[in-house]
Amino acid sequence: MKPKRIAIVGASGYSGEELVRLLLNHPQAELVAVTSRQYAGQTLAQIFPRFANHPKAKALRFSEPNADVLTKQADIVFLALPHGVAAEYAVPLLDGGCTVIDLSADFRLRSTVVYKDFYAHDHPAPDLLAKATYGLPEVYREQIKKSQLIASPGCYPTSILLPTIPLLKAKLIKSAGIIADSLSGVSGAGRKAELDYLFVECNESVRPYGVPKHRHLSEIEQELSMAAGESVTIQFTPHLIPVNRGILTTLYLAPEKHFSTTEEMNSLNEKISVCYRAAYGNEPFVRLLEGKALPDTKNVVGTNVCEIAWRLDPRTGRLIVMSAEDNLVKGASGQAVQSMNILCGFPETAGLV
């Protein structure tokens, strides 16, 4: 199969850099263009020394982002841009025949009203929303195969949706009262020169932020509502912790069926296990922890894997589900490449192992 020609627009941020890492080493993709206003003219090797020993890194130079040029160069364009800006590029790229995989929030929501509520400006390209596919392969694999515009999910949403959707679909948990408590590494804030993200401000510090209405709630609730078949509102609290990468999410869920005896608990536990195995038993990038182990970000950092474990609590009647992922891989760039693999007909794990 002829390799696909790939461009990355906005390749100088953390998820852009992670896309570079994955696509430089992808067996069926050829990275042909990387853009960056700031670094235009410089080689990948100069800006990202860690890739400098890759032959292509010395040859490939950052260019100014230009949709017309990209349309001629590339079959597939990844957008690693801020929301609002991504849509501006998507329109001409799609018109020019490119497939677009957007890592921003611009095409994740189906409702322009919700978009404006959470992102505080009118949607820049409302006509495209109907064309976009939410790029969560474990849920939308078939749709991704036929899509020209992938809205790759946010990092927090991935860590919350993967553990929750199968339980909602199977009616094993109530759709009301869901709480997601998430801890994210600092790369989630992007490569931005702001005081809040200086080493000295983050090291030896742990803090919540964006309480109680973080932007990612909009896509989380949209997708949970789809899974539940009814409107879902959740509680979500993100925290910043001093690691480079990784998201750990702890979910507090209410089982549909009350359990009090050990027998009832074991039976419910078995149902959850069956549900998760049916959903993820054959998924290459979801790891169900069924023994004593609990998720730990250090076991997923650098990989496209999401770890999931759960515990029923007989004292409270609740189900606790915990997940871990690398925010830059399964939470961003790895998942975007996974979608690319699916829509190109490549093995889904190509370039991701």
Write out the catalytic residue numbers: 155
| # binding residues, a copy of itself (CB under 8 A) | 78
| 220 within 8 A of 234, measured Cβ to Cβ | yes
d(CA 279, CA 141): 13
The DSSP bridge pattern shows strands 149-151 and 207-208 to be: unpaired
Nearer to a copy of itself, 165 or 241 (CB): 241
200: β partners: none
What single string gives the DSSP state of each residue in 119-137? HSS--S-GGGGGG-EE--H
One character per residue 86-125, x = contact with a copy of itself (rule: CB under 8 A)? ----------------------------------------
Nearer to a copy of itself, 116 or 311 (CB): 311
Binders in 287-346 for a copy of itself, by CB under 8 A: 287, 289, 291, 293-303, 305, 307, 311-313, 315-316, 318, 320, 322, 324
Give residue 339's identity as a one-letter amino acid code. S
Q: State the minimum distance, in angstroms, from the CB of residue 201 to a copy of itself.
A: 8
59 binds a copy of itself (CB under 8 A): no
Binders in 25-54 for a copy of itself, by CB under 8 A: 25, 46, 49-50, 52-54
Kindly indicate which of the ranges 2-10, 129-137, 146-154, 284-292 contains the residues binding a copy of itself, using the contact rule CB under 8 A: 284-292
Backbone CA torsion sign across 27, 308, 208, 244: negative
Residues 6 or more apart whose Cβ sits within 8 Å of residue 97? 71
Give residue 58's identity as a one-letter amino acid code. K
Angle at 134 between CA 98 and CA 298, to 5 degrees: 105
| 106 within 8 A of 87, measured Cβ to Cβ | yes
Nearer to a copy of itself, 90 or 155 (CB): 155
Nearer to a copy of itself, 107 or 280 (CB): 280
Phi, psi at residue 38, to the nearest 5°?
-65, -40
Of 153, 154, 163, 246, the residue at the interface with a copy of itself (CB under 8 A) is 246
One character per residue 182-211, x = contact with a copy of itself (rule: CB under 8 A)? -x-xxx---xxxxx-xxxxxxxxxxxxx-x
1 binds a copy of itself (CB under 8 A): no
d(CA 185, CA 205): 12
d(CA 264, CA 259): 5
347 binds a copy of itself (CB under 8 A): no
239 binds a copy of itself (CB under 8 A): yes
Nearer to a copy of itself, 169 or 239 (CB): 239
Q: State the minimum distance, in angstroms, from the CB of residue 295 to a copy of itself.
A: 7
Residue 89 in tokens: 């590029």
Q: State the minimum distance, in angstroms, from the CB of residue 23 to a copy of itself.
A: 14
| 157 within 8 A of 219, measured Cβ to Cβ | yes
265 binds a copy of itself (CB under 8 A): no
Nearer to a copy of itself, 99 or 327 (CB): 327
